[in-house]
Amino acid sequence: MTTLGKCARCHRRNDCALHDLAVSTLPWVEEAHASEGSDWDRKNAVRRALRGGGESPGFIEDWLFEGAITRDDASAMAEKILRSNAVSLAHLTARCRHYVGPVVDNASLAAA
């Protein structure tokens, strides 16, 4: 799977208002993921970055409002990020429910 994940295959990729929100949030999520501290500290830092806080623009609330993800998707996203060695845009967009494109098998999404 590419670091863009679903976005690279989506027929809406050139006309998606939500993609740029995830792109602009990615550096803060990467920073939170790499932060020092306990697992609890890192988990909260990642969730804050995803929601928006400090200088992070966040994107979760916008995506929830637009119906692109659910609250469960947001929680699963944070957990997946914390278990990963590195964070990519694919982690932030893998659960997009606005995706329109070829079938993406769950195994490749699980690897993201």
What's the maximum distance between 2 C-alpha atoms anywhere in the chain?
A: 40
Identify the pLDDT of residue 8.
84
Closest CA to 5 of 94, 73, 82: 94
108 has pLDDT over 60: no
Partners of 96 in the β-ladder: none
88 has pLDDT over 50: yes
Identify the pLDDT of residue 84.
92
2 has pLDDT over 60: no
* pLDDT tens digits, 77-87: 999 999 999 99
106 has pLDDT over 50: yes
CB 4 within 8 A of CB 90: yes
- How many helices and strands, by DSSP H and E, does the chain display? 7, 0
* pLDDT tens digits, 21-79: 999 999 999 999 999 989 899 999 999 999 998 889 999 999 999 999 999 999 999 99
User: What sign has the CA pseudo-torsion 102, 92, 70, 38?
Assistant: positive
Q: Where are the alpha helices (DSSP H) in 11-99?
A: 19-33, 39-51, 60-66, 71-83, 89-93
Identify the pLDDT of residue 102.
87
